[in-house]
């Protein structure tokens, strides 16, 4: 995420898989678990309404899913900036996550997930008058899924150079499967900001963005 809050955080991204180039997802089944991986190139990396780069981004991930519903995973992406050094026009984001999900019935599912955001060359950002924030952060996400419709809420757990502890992001997403493994994806989201934690580094323009 960018080190300053974006001026807008409303988003209605519509994505057809043909605008991205993905390698085939690989899976290695085991008796009680599955290992899967993916790699892709996207025209632009947008995170919760904020642009993370202006050019192509290379992204990839690896996940281990146990039949109990627990998943351990990694996901990474190139960035068009460095969160700890304004002189650099590139960087890399690492996401390490643990999730747990179960089916309620044939139509309903839920998912709980915590993600650690770690940045290459990351560290601490300092303001001129002494305020400082770490570039790394942690959040928790809860999702309820009905068929192809997903409603989610994520909460930041710590103050960082781009967010305040207690910031909340709400989202609704829909995925429509197409022929030949293509999909039509659309989503909308909005953020509630914990302005009480604002300082010289993070300054929320409003309490809510849609």
Q: Is pLDDT above 50 for 21?
A: no
| Helix (H) / strand (E) containing 33 | strand 33-42
Q: How confident is the model at residue 95 (pLDDT cuts 50, 70, 90)?
A: very high
Phi, psi of 55 (to 5 degrees): -120, -165
Q: Is pLDDT above 60 for 8?
A: no
The beta strands (E) that lie in 80-167 are given as 91-103, 108-119, 124-126, 132-134, 137-146, 149-156
pLDDT value of position 30 = 52
Partners of 34 in beta bridges: 29, 65
Q: Is pLDDT above 50 for 12?
A: no
Average pLDDT over residues 73-79: 97
pLDDT value of position 123 = 86
Which range has the top average pLDDT, 28-42, 122-136, 167-181? 167-181
pLDDT value of position 142 = 99
pLDDT value of position 179 = 92
pLDDT value of position 48 = 83
Q: Is pLDDT above 80 for 23?
A: no
Contacts 24+ apart (CB under 8 A), 133-137: 133/159, 133/160, 133/161, 133/199, 133/201, 133/202, 134/158, 134/159, 134/160, 134/161, 135/3, 135/83, 135/84, 135/160, 135/161, 135/162, 136/160, 137/162, 137/163
Q: Is pLDDT above 60 for 27?
A: no
Q: How confident is the model at residue 3 (pLDDT cuts 50, 70, 90)?
A: very low
Q: Measured between alpha carbons, how far is 18 from 185 in angstroms, rounded to an integer?
A: 11
Q: What is the pLDDT of residues 103-142, one digit of tens each?
A: 999 999 999 999 999 999 888 898 888 899 999 999 999 9
Q: Is pLDDT above 70 for 176?
A: yes
Q: What is the pLDDT of residues 179-191, one digit of tens each?
A: 998 999 999 999 9
């Amino acid at each position: 995420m960018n080190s300053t809050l974006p001026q807008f955080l409303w988003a209605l991204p519509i994505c057809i898989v043909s605008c991205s180039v993905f390698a085939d997802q690989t899976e290695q089944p085991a008796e009680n678990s599955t290992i899967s991986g993916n790699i892709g190139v996207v025209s632009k990396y947008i995170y919760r309404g904020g642009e993370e780069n202006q050019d192509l981004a290379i992204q990839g991930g690896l996940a281990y899913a146990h039949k109990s519903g627990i998943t351990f995973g990694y996901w990474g992406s190139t960035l068009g900036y460095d969160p700890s050094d304004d002189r650099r026009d590139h960087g890399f984001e690492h996401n390490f996550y643990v999730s747990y999900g179960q089916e309620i019935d044939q139509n309903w599912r839920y998912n709980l997930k915590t993600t650690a955001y770690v940045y290459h060359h990351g560290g601490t950002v300092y303001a001129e008058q002494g305020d400082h924030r770490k570039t790394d952060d942690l959040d928790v996400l809860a999702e309820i899924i009905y068929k192809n419709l997903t409603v989610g809420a994520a909460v930041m757990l710590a103050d960082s150079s781009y967010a305040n502890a207690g910031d909340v992001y709400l989202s609704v997403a829909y995925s429509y499967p197409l022929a030949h493994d293509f999909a039509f994806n659309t989503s909308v989201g909005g953020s509630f900001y914990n302005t009480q934690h604002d300082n010289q580094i993070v300054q929320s323009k409003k309490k809510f963005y849609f």
